[in-house]
Amino acid sequence: MNSQFNFVVDSTIKGRIYPALAIHQGRPYTQSWREFGQHWPYTTPLRIEEYCREHDIVINNYAIDTDYPDNSYYPICLGFFDFDINYFELLPPAVKSAVESGRLKVLFMYHEGDNPRRIKNRLDSLRNSAWYQFVSANSAADQLPGFVTFHDFELWYYQRNQSVLPLRPHTDQREREFTALVRLHRWWRATALADLHTQGLLDNAYWSYCESVSGEEDSPIEVDMIPRLRWNRERFMAGMPYISDELDQDQRNDHSQLEPKYYLNAYCNIVLESQFDVDQSGGAFITEKTFKPIKHGQMFFVAGAAGSLQVLRELGYRVFDGILDNSYDLISNPTQRWQRLVESIKTAQPKLHELNQLAQNDLAHNQELFMASKRERLNTLIRRLHEQHC
């Protein structure tokens, strides 16, 4: 049995819900519709609306001046959470009145991994927590009342890459050992890739670092705790950027495109996730970077927050337990987690062909699960929200 969303909205245009609170103007299926997140107050079109349409979940839209059922929400999709904005003060008067009376709740939908406790503290300082519920892509959200975790990027990559058929896993010899791709600069990524490079783990790999280093250092990997890593990183950074393809940045950011060699001709993907400590939240945040090798039939290590592999297990994916050394995922200290991950990569390196043979059932399972309908993921989200709402 499917659940459904009941949304109270300001307006719709061409069948799409217009972004709540937005000042920027745009129309669906145009460039302007994709630019809301660049303009204050940084609210965007509802990604969940696209997912529901794709996976046959009903959304009932109601105008604020009409009757609407219990468990109804005024949805606000955030491009990023701005701590300087009082979102509640921006609510239309009729919406604010309905929320104050308890007839309606604000539903924040946020696909990023910012620390949900900090967000909750900010929102609670502005209004009573009974006013709102919050959906976050950070797994730590499940520890907070009124917050629910939803791993948005699984559905996002499913949708954005749906024109590309999954690449079939194979047991043939491959020319490269690893794939390790970095598009956007993060200090911890520069530290990590410099360490892999120095230790020779990228000598026979597809790898890239497409931006030069900028900004103040903020890496959770303590560079001076690893011998000579600071010096090696400086030498590595002097040669940036490192490019492994002939694409421009817009093309690299187009997730409807795929370079098959990165998955078919390398045994294992070293995924450098968006964050390594996820805003000191204690949670995990999984993006399309991890779902790419899942869809396209490749073993992987995840350079991300502690517990990233456990999140994937809970979603039903296999993370090659018993094939790869996944002990790094249990280590909360970022520097120690990185060092253990490097040791796991080194252990796998000389026997990657053999490990790939052993991983074939897991690779097939992961592809099948990724390509399956996400209806139950959405039903679970709706049920959890309703349980909190009551």
pLDDT tens digits for range 269-319: 999 999 999 999 999 999 999 999 999 999 999 999 999 999 999 999 999
Q: Look at residue 70 and tell me whether its pLDDT is greater than 90.
A: no
Name the percent of the chain lying above pLDDT 70. Answer: 99
CA–CA dist 68, 95 (Å, integer) = 12
Predicted local confidence at residue 252, as pLDDT? 83
CA–CA dist 244, 208 (Å, integer) = 6
Rounded to a whole number, what is the distance in angstroms from the first to the last CA of the chain? 20
Report the candidate in 47, 66, 37, 36 with the shortest Cα–Cα distance to residue 5: 47
CA distances from 4 to 15, 59, 146, 222 (A): 17, 6, 19, 46
pLDDT tens digits for range 16-52: 999 999 999 999 999 999 999 999 999 999 999 999 9
Q: Look at residue 2 and tell me whether its pLDDT is greater than 70.
A: no
Token reading at 186: 């993060």
Kindly state the DSSP code that residue 128 receives in the 8-state scheme. -
Domains of the chain: 4-150 (no CATH), 176-371 (3.40.50)
Predicted local confidence at residue 390, as pLDDT? 63
Q: Give the DSSP H/E element, type plus range, for residue 182.
A: strand 176-182
Predicted local confidence at residue 99, as pLDDT? 96
Predicted local confidence at residue 18, as pLDDT? 97
CB 112 within 8 A of CB 80: yes
Predicted local confidence at residue 336, as pLDDT? 98
3-state class of 137 per DSSP?
Answer: coil
Report the candidate in 127, 124, 241, 133 with the shortest Cα–Cα distance to residue 182: 241
Task: Sort strands 16-17 and 12-13 into parallel, antiparallel or unpaired.
Answer: antiparallel
Token reading at 9: 């909205």
Predicted local confidence at residue 97, as pLDDT? 96
pLDDT tens digits for range 192-224: 999 999 999 999 999 999 988 888 888 999 999
pLDDT tens digits for range 103-138: 999 999 999 999 999 999 999 999 999 999 999 999
